[in-house]
Structure 1
Amino acid sequence: MRVAVVGLGVVGAGAARALALAGAEVTVFERTAPAAGTTGTSFAWINSHQKNPLAYHELNVAGMAEHERLQETGGQWFFRGGNLEWAHEDGRERLDAAVAELRGRDYPVEWITADRARNLVPDLRVPAAVRDVAWYPREGYVLPVALLARLWGEARDHGARLRCPAEVTGLDQERTGVSVTLAGGGTERFDVAVLAAGRWSESVARFAGMSLPMADPEAPGSATVGFLGYTAPLATRLGSVLTTPELNVRPDGGGRLVVQGLDLDAGADPAAVPAPDGPQAQELCTRLRNLLEGTEGAHLESLRVGQRALPGDGLTVAGFDGGGTVYALATHSGITLGPLLGRLAAEEIVTGRERPELGMFRPTRFEGVDRDTLPPPVPARFAGQQ
């Protein structure tokens, strides 16, 4: 079976790897460079918070387990250091409800004291008014490019080829295959094309006559955009994810941290990325110094505006369109779900057997839907929403 994969982020790499392992002849078409899209600007927190309905939550839990299984066979990109979260008084009811929902789903979470939180993260500064802290021991974070390297490297080991730069400008479905047309001319025929184009999924799907509405990734202050600050190396002790009212933080290797203040995202605009020493950066660094010891003199090496790949109804897309030769993968949870979606998609493509986990996420749900009738997604403004 000859399979084309469009896009080489984590989702595309996961699909390429699993297809190559299953014996398919895989060619990946990447327009600019690996990890050039959302993969390169992701907070990369592995979790299943606020993932509703239940089927979406369960899919993300399975995605977390997939990272653990994959890492058992080698490599180091997933760090299961847990996550600590607390709320101020005005957010306590929301956090209590979120923890209760997760407990009802048998998701590992417990309330711990501030002292225990400081034992887990010795340099943590917990506000005096915080009574207790939610601890999620099975969560963690990913180094996205290291994950991509593992997935794509193994795909290459099993014969997958990369065409880059190669922009796909046409997908013509036939009864027994699909023709892929590239910018500048040239067409290649495949048995199946897998769309893993991230935030460009809608325009790429349109080439195949598929309806796959995505939230606008360019809209300032919307749910699809947000600031991510990347610090210079710091002498602070942090091995966990922190999701706090003022700041979300995760390690990024070599003493660097990734910082995110969700309330600041109302001013995020991909067309006007602030300077790494501007007001937004200074605010993020101030919040970081208030949160962790050992961060005196913290400054950002870069401040980026991340652009999320967000299907129009907020849920993952995974499956064939009506024609049966184009398979779409698009999700807001690409880092958590990338390896799992790749494996499940490859099984469906190679064997023809449908996976029940993907039953409610088929792209055919958008057939006949006017994208303008879909309500705009709510911007993330507190921990867990992003």
Structure 2
Amino acid sequence: MRVAVIGAGIIGVTIAARLAERGASVVVIDKGHPGCGTTSTSYAWLNSNGKQPKAYFDINRAGLDAHKRLSPKDGAAWLDIGGHVEFAIDDHHRDDLAARAARLRSWDYPAEEITAADVARLLPDVRLPEGVQLIIRYPGEAHAYPALYLAHVLGEARAAGARIRTGVEVTSLTGNGETASVGLSDGSVEDVDRVVSATGRWTSRCAALAGANVPVREFSEPGDIVVGYLAVTNPLPVRLASLVTSPWLNVRPAGGGRLMLQALDLDATADPREVPGTDSPLARELLTRLRALLDGTGGARIVELMVGQRAMPEDGRTIAGFAPGVPWFYVVATHSGVTLAPYLGEAVAAELGGEPQAALDEFRIERFAIDKTYGQPYTPRKPGEQ
């Protein structure tokens, strides 16, 4: 089987590697370079926390488990299983957090209530404010370094014989049911049996080339659902072993003593066309919040400030399956790309190999033809959601 995978991000390259390992002849095509899209601007929190419905929770948990199974034990491991601590100081957040933790425990997902003394032991530089009402620790959650993951699966893909074509854009997609042709901006054509779109926020445009309608949102205005700020600090003398979600700032280790910051309420002004500078009022506000949360951050500076753009299907749920009426065109798009990448790589490769995956049945494109309103999209605006 000959397969063209469009998109050299974390999902596309994983699918390519698994297909090539199954014996397929695979070419990966990207108009930029590997990982230059959403993969490069992700908070990279690996979790199944707050994911609903149950089918979405299940595949995210499968993704988290796959990361733990596949990450190298030596060398350039991309996985840091430091857990996650979230605390609430108001009634609404407390009630949401308590209900979420109870639901997760009922699904056998570790979510344990801890005390301020526990936080002092586990995260000694975290400053808990007065009036903390509830603290929950998720010991199995992790954060990833997407570039290291991508390097690993790129190596696997190349070792299995996949070709990586970058700096070339797909200009046409045609097929007759049995085979397909991928026209490229350099005038060349790749003739294949199947095409996989793993193009993230560009999914709708890619699908349109194949004559398919796949509703994935694109940026429209500052602060909309698909955009959010991420900031990275200089190296700091801070003892922080896990992700921390607070009412005013989310923070995680970013390697080499650096920290990655996220404040979802500040995303109301996020605009990828106008990214604030590292000394902007936004950057200063992030530093103020950081210093209120962590000791050892008096010398903190923002060294990188970016606006990430999420891949967001119209109803917020993952898309995985063949496009209706286009049997040679398989589409993958998800908001939970970093968590799901190793699971989807295996599952999609299996489906293309003729092994249907029942766990993906709730995520087919056909659902949009049944529910014309698409329902309410998943919106990352509550504390701790990514």
TM-score tier (shorter): over 0.9
Match of 2:339 in 1: 336
Query: Residue 111 of structure 1 contacts residue 135 of structure 1 at CA under 8 Å; is this kept in 2?
Result: yes
Q: Quick check: 69-78 or 265-274, which moved more?
A: 69-78
Q: Which amino acid aligns with 1:113?
A: T
The offset of 1:374, in angstroms, is 3.9
Match of 1:309 in 2: 311
Match of 2:351 in 1: 348
CA deviations over 1:314-372 (Å, ceiling 9, x no partner) = 1101111233211111000000001110110001112x1201111111122234775xx
Match of 1:64 in 2: 64
User: How far apart are the structure 2 equivalents of 1:136 and 1:349?
Assistant: 35
Q: Which amino acid aligns with 1:78?
A: L
User: How far apart are the structure 2 equivalents of 1:210 and 1:369?
Assistant: 17
The offset of 1:378, in angstroms, is 5.8
Structure 1 regions of 5+ residues with no counterpart?
none
User: How far apart are the structure 1 equivalents of 2:23 and 2:124?
Assistant: 48
1:381 matches 2:381 = yes
Which of residues 181, 189, 192 in structure 1 aligns to 2:191?
189
The offset of 1:300, in angstroms, is 0.6
User: How far apart are the structure 1 equivalents of 2:318 and 2:306?
Assistant: 25
Query: Residue 316 of structure 2 contacts residue 376 of structure 2 at CA under 8 Å; is this kept in 1?
Result: no
Match of 1:134 in 2: 136
Question: What is the correspondence of 1:74-153 to structure 2 with a 5 Å cutoff?
Answer: 75-90=76-91, 91-153=93-155
Q: Which amino acid aligns with 2:23?
A: G
The offset of 1:304, in angstroms, is 0.4
User: How far apart are the structure 2 equivalents of 1:384 and 1:348?
Assistant: 33
User: How far apart are the structure 2 equivalents of 1:219 and 1:173?
Assistant: 35
User: How far apart are the structure 1 equivalents of 2:54 and 2:284?
Assistant: 39
Query: Residue 41 of structure 1 contacts residue 306 of structure 1 at CA under 8 Å; is this kept in 2?
Result: yes
User: How far apart are the structure 2 equivalents of 1:192 and 1:212?
Assistant: 17
User: How far apart are the structure 2 equivalents of 1:33 and 1:273?
Assistant: 21
The offset of 1:132, in angstroms, is 3.8
SS at match of 1:205: helix
User: How far apart are the structure 1 equivalents of 2:305 and 2:376?
Assistant: 26
Query: Residue 222 of structure 1 contacts residue 379 of structure 1 at CA under 8 Å; is this kept in 2?
Result: no
Query: Residue 219 of structure 1 contacts residue 225 of structure 1 at CA under 8 Å; is this kept in 2?
Result: no
Q: Quick check: 6-15 or 129-138, which moved more?
A: 129-138
CA deviations over 1:114-138 (Å, ceiling 9, x no partner) = 1111211121111122144100000
SS at match of 1:210: coil
The offset of 1:311, in angstroms, is 0.4
User: How far apart are the structure 1 equivalents of 2:134 and 2:99?
Assistant: 15
Question: What is the correspondence of 1:34-73 to structure 2 with a 5 Å cutoff?
Answer: 34-72=34-72
Query: Residue 110 of structure 1 contacts residue 134 of structure 1 at CA under 8 Å; is this kept in 2?
Result: yes
Match of 1:12 in 2: 12
Match of 2:281 in 1: 279
SS at match of 1:385: coil
> Kindly, what percent of the aligned residue pairs are identical?
47
User: How far apart are the structure 2 equivalents of 1:13 and 1:119?
Assistant: 40
The offset of 1:63, in angstroms, is 0.6
SS at match of 1:325: strand
Q: Which amino acid aligns with 2:207?
A: A
Question: What is the correspondence of 1:179-328 to structure 2 with a 5 Å cutoff?
Answer: 179-322=181-324, 323-328=326-331
Query: Residue 218 of structure 1 contacts residue 270 of structure 1 at CA under 8 Å; is this kept in 2?
Result: no
Query: Residue 218 of structure 1 contacts residue 269 of structure 1 at CA under 8 Å; is this kept in 2?
Result: no
CA gap 1:311/1:378 in 2 versus in 1, 3 angstroms: closer
CA gap 1:313/1:132 in 2 versus in 1, 3 angstroms: closer
Count of residues paired in the alignment: 383
Q: Which amino acid aligns with 1:49?
A: N
User: How far apart are the structure 1 equivalents of 2:217 and 2:103?
Assistant: 27
The offset of 1:181, in angstroms, is 0.8
Match of 2:168 in 1: 166
User: How far apart are the structure 1 equivalents of 2:350 and 2:21?
Assistant: 10
Structure 2 regions of 5+ residues with no counterpart?
none
The offset of 1:382, in angstroms, is 2.2
User: How far apart are the structure 2 equivalents of 1:202 and 1:123?
Assistant: 45
The offset of 1:376, in angstroms, is 6.1
SS at match of 2:224: coil
SS at match of 1:324: strand
CA deviations over 1:33-88 (Å, ceiling 9, x no partner) = 11111100000000112211100001101110000110156541011100000111
CA gap 1:277/1:79 in 2 versus in 1, 3 angstroms: same
TM-score calculated relative to the size of structure 1: 0.96
TM-score calculated relative to the size of structure 2: 0.96
Q: Quick check: 290-299 or 210-219, which moved more?
A: 210-219
CA deviations over 1:187-235 (Å, ceiling 9, x no partner) = 2210111100011011001111111111223431111111000111111
Task: Kindly report the root-mean-square deviation, in angstroms, between the aligned alpha carbons of the 2 structures.
Answer: 1.5
